[in-house]
Amino acid sequence: MHTLEVGLGARSYSIRIGTPLTAEIRAVVDALRAAGKPVALVTDQAVARKQAKFLAAIAGDIPTITIPKGETSKSFRQLERICEFLAAERVDRSGALIAVGGGVVGDLAGFAAAAYLRGIAFYQVPTTLLAMVDSSVGGKTGINLKAGKNLTGAFWQPNAVYADTGVLATLPKREFSAGMAEVIKYGLLADASLFNQLASLNEPLHAEHPALAGVILRCCELKAQIVGDDERELKPSGGRALLNLGHTFGHAIEAVAGYGAYLHGEAVGLGLVLAARLSQELGYISGEDVAKTTELIAHYNLPTRLREPLPVEQLLAAMKRDKKVRAGKLRFVVMRSLGTAETCDCVDEAVVDRLWRQVGAV
């Protein structure tokens, strides 16, 4: 078992990593209810089907709403459903919402918790590797628009995060690989030793790998440090924006290909390849570093080229609508070296065009 504190003053909270955590989560639910505070739960169809015993153990008979699985559920329609559900269950301002699922469930439920009655308590119980290492920590919540990924949302920190690694045993291999994109991202942007550890493992990480809990902990430590220093991504350079390494490219892929065509982590994996190539173009890292990055991403069956050609014009347009744009300029995260990153808004659009074409855009 590991415990990590996210230091945000009055909004500080703990992350628990290990297995089993069912008794701890149930104790929180029971304590809230014993204090007369209404509690509700959001999950998705896949978790409801594969983790029925886990859900019953942590939640008992609390009111539960189930959303469709997949990125398309990060929508106004599902946000409305959750808020109407909370109202129907008479959840008041003393109440709490528990999100049990991957990044989609956490982002959507967190935004609902931020918006409903102008804010209620919120607990994250991530069930995917991606959510455990990234999206459940830091308080970014939101939904997608047709124009782009996560363009509507709120900063709303959870009251606690419970990452029970035991639930990863039922996670499909494709979903686990998608989570590895975010793990690799942390090595590339802030911890070369983590990157080297991943590259030197005798066997790829998997749900039962003895190194997994420690890797999850390290990713959460890195994110907690960055979020604690720049919670609302307000620093003019560096800061929380560094967590977007690969995401300016990845979000464009998701938007243009259609949400769901690529898992988020798959799009980020290819985005990391492009970020590495951009870093080389700027003279920061070597071709050997790009090759190491690409090899590790491919090692986890993540795409290093577009599966089908996408129009460069549409990809560039999607990038320009990204929430990381500042004063009309594209803003990228690039690597000064493997394990060190910085923000950059001085990239020529012709360079970006060429990079897209290198991975199969037309």
Could you list the active site residues? 118, 140, 182, 223, 233, 240, 244, 247, 251, 264
Decide: 74 and 111 in contact? Cβ < 8 Å: no
- Look-up: residue for tokens 């793990």? 183
Antiparallel, parallel or unpaired: β 160-164 and 96-101: unpaired
Amino acid identity of 131? A
- CA distances to 72, 207, 267, 349 from 68, rounded to whole Å, are 8, 24, 21, 38
Rounded to 5 degrees, what are φ and ψ at 17?
-130, 125
Contacts of 240-243 with CB under 8 Å at 24 or more apart are: 240/138, 241/324, 241/331, 241/333, 241/343, 242/189, 242/190, 242/333, 242/341, 242/342, 242/343, 243/134, 243/138, 243/185, 243/189
Q: Helices 192-200 and 212-229: crossing angle, nearest 10°?
A: 160
Residue among 186, 190, 184, 157 at smallest CA distance from 293: 184
Amino acid identity of 313? E
| Residue 160, helix vs strand vs coil | strand
**b/e burial code for range 58-90 (CB count within 10 A of at least 16 → b):** bbeebebbbbebebebbbeebbebbbebbeebe
Residue among 351, 314, 165, 336 at smallest CA distance from 237: 336
Decide: 64 and 55 in contact? Cβ < 8 Å: yes
